[in-house]
Amino acid sequence: MTAVQKSPAETATDAAVEFRGVSRVFGETRALDGLDLALRRGELLALLGPSGCGKTTALRLLAGFDRPTSGEIRIDGRDVTGVPASKRDTGMVFQAYSLFPTMTAAENVAFGLRMRKVGGAERGRRAAELLELVGLGDRGGSYPHELSGGQQQRVALARALAVRPSVLLLDEPLSALDARVRVQLRDEIRRLQLAEGITTLFVTHDQSEALAVADRVAVLNAGRMEQVDVPQEVYARPATPFVAEFVGVMNTVPVSGGRITPGAAETTQVRPEALLVGAPDGLAGTVLTSTFLGPVTRLVIRTEVGELTADAVTRPGLPAIGEHTTVQISG
């Protein structure tokens, strides 16, 4: 059902970036193990996985900071495997603190153009334009240490975009920011990416971030690709148990005729929000924990078939910890 891998030939025509059988071995560990992945032109693909899964390795291989042990990498159909980072035409936004500290925001943004021998006046114009685009039109003369973390990342984004790269690389650009700024900047990145129509590889370990902004999500585990698909599919129909566990919470229950049935041979996977708490014909259980999450309350309920996690719409009368209740697949 879910296309775990598309064969390179299938996507070669519209692929902006392609990994073909790329492996990277560090000593004894295989950080990447035969990665096949194609980014379509103009899409934002989130590379999602736990730390140490190889996602950062993949990004650094694409940027040219590292060479693959085997396999090849193509940008716009051109093999760039042996091309140095400075000639790859990628724009990268790092985790944090990547702005050049002795240059103003505007000078930072203009740096790539300076390396491309663009004239001073044109550089200034383009830098101002991009700072305007990221909402920092009035901070061009500020030094990085005078900007907040979120502003610094905006400048870094403007800097990466200034050279009109063929692909934008985002290496956990939000991970060092406060929660509120993180969501704000996340949405802004998506808005800019759509407006500029730039092919983007977004590396993150945060599944909610990946699901929120990506056209497609690629889930990586232990150097291998687990699933590549649109967020809705990855969430609703995880291809492997790993994806099911990593992307959100998943209950595995025995079913018969679409109802939880203890002892049934068939099992299925159910998201917490698909479980109905207090269902009349539900399975009996005891509430172990109850976590108020705002609009919903997450309950962990011990039942005959194991501990189940269920999200109930917050309302008066929800069972409290230690109380008995019932639970069933809704609908």
Q: Let me know: does 174 contact 185? Beta carbons within 8 Å.
A: yes
Please say which residue, 170 or 305, places its beta carbon nearer to another protein.
170
Q: In the set 4, 85, 222, 264, which binds another protein (CB under 8 A)?
A: 85
The torsion of the CA quartet 94, 100, 103, 104, rounded to 10 degrees, works out to 20
Q: Based on the shown chain and the rule CB under 8 A, indicate whether residue 13 belongs to the binding site for another protein.
A: no
Dihedral of alpha carbons 141, 91, 152, 101, sign: negative
Residue type, 173: P
Which among 191, 213, 200 has a CA at the least distance from the CA of 169? 200
Q: Is 27 in the site for another protein (CB under 8 A)?
A: no
Q: Binders of another protein: how many residues, by CB under 8 A?
A: 40
Taking the C-alpha atoms of residue 253 and residue 305, their distance in angstroms, rounded to an integer, is: 7
Identified binder of another protein from the candidate list 23, 73, 80, 112, rule CB under 8 A: 112
100 binding another protein? (CB under 8 A): yes
| Binding string, residues 170-209; x marks residues near another protein by CB under 8 A | ------x---------------------------------
- Measured between alpha carbons, how far is residue 234 from residues 204, 304, 323, 330 in Å? 15, 29, 34, 21
Q: Tally the residues of the chain.
A: 331
Q: Which of 28, 87, 281, 317 binds another protein (CB under 8 A)?
A: 87
* Tokens encoding 234: 């990855």
CA distance 136 to 169: 21
> Measured from the CB atom, is 114 or 324 closer to another protein?
114
Pick the piece of the chain touching another protein (CB under 8 A) from 112-120, 208-216, 244-252, 262-270: 112-120
Instruction: Tell me how far apart the alpha carbons of residues 171 and 28 are, in angstroms, rounded to a whole number.
Output: 25
116 binds another protein (CB under 8 A): yes
Q: Decide: is 111 part of the binding site for another protein (CB under 8 A).
A: yes
Q: Which of 1, 28, 138, 145 binds another protein (CB under 8 A)?
A: 145
Rounded to 5 degrees, φ, ψ at 129 are -60, -45
> Residue numbers of the site for another protein (CB under 8 A)?
31, 51-52, 54-57, 60, 63-65, 84-88, 90-92, 94-102, 111-112, 114-116, 145, 156, 159-160, 163, 169, 176
